[in-house]
């Protein structure tokens, strides 16, 4: 926790991919317990923004501060910091050579150093919370998309992070499986988890989000509470985008 | 979307077994299939029977058997059956009602054609100077004297190949990690090593390391030790390339997920990437191993004692003593005996390791 | 109908092809040399693989019998063979090959002649013909005097010692028969020079090999010395294509003439000035 009590602070972050200017001087603060939703057209840089938070993408310029730690400082122990930030991906990225249980215990044992028994217990508990305890011994290949994503969420949660990042986690799912994942996320938010969610699910943004950010061409164009942004968008680009998706 | 399970067919899906195929045959398609199978069967079993009765050794007996009237009768019968199968199958093919029966007819026709081809080839072969050929290549009596040497040689070949491969895989894994590093100072030496050992002939490497280095530096190393070392160094280069390709074939998302959980670069490599990469590259690795088995024959150039001789050396040794080429048949059999089971073992290993990778998301 | 005709057509074609091959290719092992020349020229009375050329197989290098000096092929065998060839009105075509298959190749008709310091043995005589002897050979033991100064004879070799031999040679056979029973390890190398390299490096205790070659090698490698000559009652002969009796007769005639008129002894003295025991002349 540092100034203003912000858990995450991005300061003037610029990101170039070769000649492509993907993030243009973005500044952002995320507060504890807050659910921040990021929306915008494809190519707007919203995924890149999210991935900058745990430094999967390294900013070309600017600072990223998490819980008082400057992640962009080379002296920072990034691996340790990342154990407090959980991430869930659009393509699940479950480890195919491990069972659902194994996926979760892998980092618990090898990063956090938990014993076999402790890791197993915590992993099972986490699976129970997402409703998949009965599938603990299944391999990812034997699970449906929705189930895989829930396991992925459990895997991230098992590390007891302070912050959870969600990168379009329902975009790759068949429509009838989206709900089960969103329900889990809603439960998380209700429990007070700090979340940054990149998504196209506007219903979720409205109901669960505390704050919504609209991004376009690498910049935060509009930032407001869900009602304000969806009912009375101020920026033209934002209005256009919303008219297309709603 | 339903869950993908790999227990197929248990819930009322149609039976597709051998019985089903048999049931689906019409009298004619079944006849064609039987004739086809019969033609090949007669050819193989008949030849075996005739040659065994007349005798496999010495080579004159075998030659007599090959050129005998009985063998000729077998060939003619087989060819006749084959023609019948082929003609029948080809004639009725179009008019058969089901897919299974058509396949039966085709099977019969194809088997018949094979029997005809084999019989024709055999006929042509036995019209030549069979006695001389048999004396030089089929003198099995010779092998009776030497077969223990071949067993020992096969064992030597196996030891050389396995040891070399073990070292090679160890080196290859390490080297592959260097080869994908983002730091050029780490990549360059790895690439140098790989290019050197892949770019020079193995024989040269063996000669250089033994006659040049070992003897030049007065290191008291035996031929086998140097051979295993060099085979390992060589295999290491080829394996490194294979592993590198395997690592790069693993989805980048796997690496990202691992790191986002707080794993260091090397932990992610060891726990997530390499296990997947290794499973992916088993086919090319097997291929390279099979080549290595044959490469062991180059060890002879380093000077082998009688007990150390591997398959090729034994073959040549007996050959130069007896001037008979039959030992080379034994050498070939030896290599097959070493190579084929190895492949089966590896395939079994691969299937076991793949158990977690089937289905979606693999 | 097309599939059926295709299959039938393929089978018919196959049978035709095989039938043609069976009928056509039925002549006996056509020895490459036994063709036109016999009937045409009145002289010479023999034929060779290539008209006017004597094709010679040899394992090069093997000093002082055949080796290269300054890019030129030279040696005792080379000079004797060249002299024989010129007396027969032939030029020579020397082919380098591995020693342990050289007689099989000769028997298969790849060469007219094999000149490779080869010993006449009964087993080899079953496969090929030999000329009259042209050299009395002995085996020898070469040692590394820096490493093992006290080994002076084969009797000094026993358990824990190793000798290097060339694969397929009479030296190998002799060593296996006479030294192996005493516990000496016999290591076979495909290439002769490698045996001496191994000896220099201390990897083996001694080399069992033909005496003149060993003397030659030892003179070039300071730490090596030939300490004992082993009389194995061997003669060198040139191997001749077993199908070519006329060539054998012609070569023997020329060789005998060389011995009788002193040319042979001249060549011999040039190559072995200090060792008269090997000469077949004057015996």
Of B253, B257, B362, nearest to A141 by CB-CB distance is: B362
Of B218, B319, B323, nearest to C201 by CB-CB distance is: B218
Write down the pLDDT at residue C149.
87
Inter-residue contact C217 to C142 (CB < 8 Å) = yes
Is residue A167 predicted with pLDDT exceeding 60? yes
Is residue B270 predicted with pLDDT exceeding 90? yes
| Interatomic CA distance for residues C195 and B74, integer angstroms | 54
| Interatomic CA distance for residues A39 and A245, integer angstroms | 11
| Interatomic CA distance for residues B261 and B266, integer angstroms | 13
Nearest to C143 by CA among C209, C212, C76, C226: C226
Inter-residue contact A156 to A87 (CB < 8 Å) = yes
- Which residues on B lie below 8 Å from C186 (Cβ)? 305-306
Beta bridge partners of C234: C137
pLDDT band at C140 (very low <50, low <70, confident <90, very high): very high
Write down the pLDDT at residue C64.
86
Question: Chains touching chain C at 3 or more Cβ pairs under 8 angstroms?
Answer: B
Contact status of B356 with chain A (Cβ, < 8 Å): yes
Q: Give the model confidence (pLDDT) of B101-154 as tens digits.
A: 888 888 889 999 999 999 999 999 988 888 888 888 888 888 888 889 999 999
Inter-residue contact B335 to B293 (CB < 8 Å) = yes
3-class secondary structure, C162: strand
Share of chain A above pLDDT 90, in %: 81
Beta bridge partners of A10: A28, A64
Q: How buried is A159 (Cβ within 10 angstroms: 0-12 exposed, 13-18 middle, 19+ buried)?
A: buried
| Interatomic CA distance for residues A142 and A61, integer angstroms | 43
Average pLDDT value for residue range A88-117: 94
Contact status of C106 with chain B (Cβ, < 8 Å): no
> Between residues A3 and A51, which one has the greater pLDDT?
A51
Q: CB within 8 A of B316, min separation 6: which ones?
A: B300, C100, C101, C167, C168
| Interatomic CA distance for residues B347 and B18, integer angstroms | 25
Q: What is the mean pLDDT of chain C?
A: 84
Write down the pLDDT at residue C186.
94
Mutate to test the interface with B, among A110, A146, A150 (most CBs of B within 10 A): A110
The first and second tokens of residue C8, run together, are 């039938």
Write down the pLDDT at residue B11.
59
Inter-residue contact C80 to C134 (CB < 8 Å) = yes
| Interatomic CA distance for residues C238 and C244, integer angstroms | 13
Q: Which helix (H) or strand (E) holds C232?
A: strand C224-236
Q: Which helix (H) or strand (E) holds C88?
A: helix C76-88
The first and second tokens of residue A133, run together, are 């305890």
Average pLDDT value for residue range B267-292: 92
Question: Chains touching chain B at 3 or more Cβ pairs under 8 angstroms?
Answer: A, C
Contact status of C30 with chain B (Cβ, < 8 Å): no
Beta bridge partners of A223: A213
Where on the phi/psi map is residue C71: left (φ > 0), alpha (ψ -120 to 50), or beta? left
Whether A148 sits inside 8 A of B267 (CB atoms) is: no
Average pLDDT value for residue range A110-132: 94
Q: Give the model confidence (pLDDT) of B306-361 as tens digits.
A: 888 999 999 999 888 888 888 998 999 999 999 999 889 888 888 877 665 543 33
Q: Give the model confidence (pLDDT) of A72-87 as tens digits.
A: 999 999 999 999 999 9
Positive or negative, the Cα torsion across C182, C183, C184, C188?
A: positive
Whether B251 sits inside 8 A of A93 (CB atoms) is: yes
Write down the pLDDT at residue C29.
39
pLDDT band at C229 (very low <50, low <70, confident <90, very high): confident
Q: What is the mean pLDDT of chain A?
A: 92
Secondary structure of chain A in HEC code, one letter for each residue: CCHHHCCEEEEEEEEEECCEEEEEEEEEEECCCCEEEEECCCCCCHHHHHHHHCCCCCCCEEEEEECCEECCCCCCCHHHHHCCEEEECCCCCCCCCCCHHHHHHHHHHHCCCCCHHHHHHHHHHHHHHCCCHHHCCCCHHHCCHHHHHHHHHHHHHCCCCCEEEEECCCCCCCHHHHHHHHHHHHHHHHCCCEEEEECCCHHHHHHHCCEEEEEECCEEEEEECHHHHHHCCCCHHHHHHHHHHC
Is residue C282 predicted with pLDDT exceeding 70? no
Cα radius of gyration (chain C): 24
Is residue C28 predicted with pLDDT exceeding 70? no
Q: Give the model confidence (pLDDT) of B55-91 as tens digits.
A: 887 888 888 888 888 888 999 999 999 998 888 888 8
Is residue A1 predicted with pLDDT exceeding 50? no
Q: CB within 8 A of C148, min separation 6: which ones?
A: C205, C206
The Cα-based distances of C36 to A100, C46, C49, C92 in angstroms read: 83, 11, 11, 20
Q: CB within 8 A of A156, min separation 6: which ones?
A: A86, A87, A88, A164, B260, B261
Write down the pLDDT at residue A211.
94
pLDDT band at C20 (very low <50, low <70, confident <90, very high): low
Whether C191 sits inside 8 A of B301 (CB atoms) is: yes
Nearest to C59 by CA among C105, C92, C90: C105
**How many CB pairs below 8 A link B and C?**
118
Q: How many CB atoms lie within 10 A of CB C219?
A: 13
Beta bridge partners of C95: C57
DSSP 8-state assignment for residue B212: I
Whether A145 sits inside 8 A of B1 (CB atoms) is: yes
Q: CB within 8 A of C39, min separation 6: which ones?
A: none
| Interatomic CA distance for residues C132 and A68, integer angstroms | 100
> Which long-range CB contacts under 8 A does B315-319 form with residues at least 24 apart?
B316/C100, B316/C101, B316/C167, B316/C168, B317/C100, B317/C167, B317/C168, B317/C188, B318/B142, B318/B146, B318/B149, B319/C100, B319/C101, B319/C104
Tell the residue number behind the tokens 């030999």, with chain if given. Answer: C130
Contact status of A164 with chain B (Cβ, < 8 Å): no
Is residue B15 predicted with pLDDT exceeding 80? no
Q: How many CB atoms lie within 10 A of CB B201?
A: 10
Span of B9-23, B76-90, B276-290 with lowest mean pLDDT:
B9-23
Of C26, C107, C201, nearest to B127 by CB-CB distance is: C26
The first and second tokens of residue B324, run together, are 């008979």
Is residue C152 predicted with pLDDT exceeding 50? yes
Write down the pLDDT at residue B9.
46
Residue A198: φ, ψ to 5°: -95, 125
Q: Give the model confidence (pLDDT) of B212-240 as tens digits.
A: 887 777 777 888 889 999 999 999 999 99
Share of chain B above pLDDT 70, in %: 93
Q: Write out the DSSP string of B256-275.
A: HHHHHTT--HHHHIIIIIHH
Contact status of C27 with chain B (Cβ, < 8 Å): no
Whether B116 sits inside 8 A of C15 (CB atoms) is: yes
Of A85, A91, A106, nearest to B271 by CB-CB distance is: A106
Cα dihedral C263→C269→C271→C272 (10° resolution): 140
């Amino acid at each position: 926790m540092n100034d203003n009590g912000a858990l995450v602070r991005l300061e003037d972050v610029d990101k170039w991919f070769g000649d492509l200017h993907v993030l243009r001087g973005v500044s952002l603060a995320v507060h504890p317990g807050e659910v921040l939703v990021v929306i915008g057209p494809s190519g707007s840089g919203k995924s890149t923004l999210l991935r900058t938070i745990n430094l999967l993408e390294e900013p070309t310029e600017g600072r990223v501060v998490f819980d008082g730690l400057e992640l962009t400082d080379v002296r920072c122990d990034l691996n340790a910091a990342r154990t407090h930030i959980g991430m869930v991906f659009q393509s699940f990225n479950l480890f195919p050579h491990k069972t659902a249980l194994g996926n979760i215990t892998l980092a618990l044992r090898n990063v956090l150093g938990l014993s076999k028994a402790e890791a197993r217990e915590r992993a099972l508990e986490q699976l129970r919370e997402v409703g998949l305890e009965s599938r603990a011994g299944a391999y990812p290949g034997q699970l449906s998309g929705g189930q895989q994503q829930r396991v992925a969420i459990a895997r991230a949660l098992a590390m007891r992070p302070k912050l959870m990042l969600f990168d379009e986690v329902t975009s790759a799912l068949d429509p009838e499986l989206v709900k089960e994942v969103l329900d889990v996320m809603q439960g998380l938010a209700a429990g007070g988890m700090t979340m940054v969610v990149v998504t196209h699910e506007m219903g979720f943004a409205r109901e669960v989000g505390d704050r919504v950010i609209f991004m376009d061409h690498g910049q935060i164009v509009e930032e407001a509470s869900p009602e304000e942004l969806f009912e009375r968008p101020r920026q033209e680009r934002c209005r256009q985008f919303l008219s297309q998706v709603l | 979307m339903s869950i993908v399970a790999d227990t197929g067919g248990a819930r009322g899906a149609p039976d597709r077994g051998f019985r089903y195929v048999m049931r689906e045959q019409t009298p004619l398609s079944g006849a064609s299939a039987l004739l086809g199978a019969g033609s090949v069967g007669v050819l193989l079993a008949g030849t075996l029977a005739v040659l065994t009765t007349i005798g496999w050794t010495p080579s004159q007996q075998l030659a007599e058997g090959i050129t005998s009237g009985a063998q000729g009768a077998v060939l003619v019968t087989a060819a006749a059956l084959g023609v019948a199968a082929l003609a029948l199958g080809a004639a009725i093919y179009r008019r058969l009602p089901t897919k299974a029966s058509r396949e039966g007819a085709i099977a019969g026709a194809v088997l018949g054609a094979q029997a005809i081809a084999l019989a024709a080839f055999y006929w042509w072969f036995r019209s030549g100077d069979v006695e001389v050929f048999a004396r030089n290549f089929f003198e099995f009596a010779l092998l009776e004297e030497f077969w223990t040497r071949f067993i020992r040689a096969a064992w030597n070949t196996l030891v050389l190949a396995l040891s070399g491969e073990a070292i090679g895989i160890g080196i290859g894994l390490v080297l592959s990690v260097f080869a994908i590093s983002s730091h050029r100072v780490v990549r360059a030496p790895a690439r140098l090593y790989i290019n050197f050992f892949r770019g020079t002939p193995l024989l040269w490497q063996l000669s250089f390391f033994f006659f040049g280095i070992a003897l030049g530096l007065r290191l008291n190393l035996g031929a086998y030790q140097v051979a295993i070392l060099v085979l390992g160094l060589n295999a290491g280069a080829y394996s490194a390339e294979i592993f590198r390709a395997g690592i790069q074939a693993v989805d980048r998302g796997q690496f990202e997920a691992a790191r986002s959980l707080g794993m260091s670069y090397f932990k992610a490599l060891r726990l997530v990437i390499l296990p997947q990469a290794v499973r992916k590259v088993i086919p090319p690795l097997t291929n390279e191993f099979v080549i290595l088995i044959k490469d062991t024959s180059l060890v002879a150039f380093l000077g082998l004692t009688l007990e150390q001789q591997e398959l090729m050396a034994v073959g040549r040794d007996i050959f130069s003593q007896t001037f008979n080429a039959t030992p080379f048949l034994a050498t070939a059999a030896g290599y097959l005996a070493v190579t084929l089971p190895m492949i089966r073992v590896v395939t079994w290993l691969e299937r076991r390791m793949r158990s977690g990778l089937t289905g979606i998301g693999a | 109908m097309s599939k059926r005709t295709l299959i039938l057509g393929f089978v018919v074609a196959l049978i035709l092809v095989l039938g043609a091959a069976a009928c056509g290719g039925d002549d006996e092992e056509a020895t490459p040399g036994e063709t036109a020349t016999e009937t045409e020229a009145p002289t010479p009375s023999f034929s060779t693989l290539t008209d006017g050329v004597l094709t010679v197989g040899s394992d090069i290098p093997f000093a002082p019998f055949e080796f290269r000096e300054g890019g030129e092929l030279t040696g005792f065998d080379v000079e004797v063979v060249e002299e024989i060839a010129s007396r027969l009105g032939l030029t020579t075509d020397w082919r380098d090959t591995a020693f342990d298959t050289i007689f099989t190749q000769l028997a298969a008709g790849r060469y007219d002649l094999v000149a490779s310091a080869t010993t006449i043995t009964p087993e080899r005589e079953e496969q090929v013909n030999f000329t009259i002897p042209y050299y009395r050979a002995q085996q020898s033991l070469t040692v590394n005097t820096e490493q093992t100064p006290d080994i002076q004879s084969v009797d000094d070799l026993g358990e824990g010692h190793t000798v290097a031999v060339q694969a397929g040679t009479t030296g190998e056979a002799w060593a296996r028969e006479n030294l192996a029973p005493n516990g000496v390890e016999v290591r076979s190398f495909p290439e002769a020079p490698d045996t001496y390299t191994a000896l220099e490096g201390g990897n083996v205790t001694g080399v069992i090999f033909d005496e003149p070659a060993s003397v030659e090698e030892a003179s070039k490698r300071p730490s090596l010395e030939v300490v004992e000559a082993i009389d194995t009652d061997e003669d060198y002969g040139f191997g001749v294509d077993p199908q070519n009796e006329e060539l054998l007769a012609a070569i023997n005639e020329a060789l005998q003439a060389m011995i009788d008129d002193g040319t042979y002894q001249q060549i011999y003295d040039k190559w072995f000035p200090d060792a008269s025991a090997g000469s077949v002349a004057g015996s």
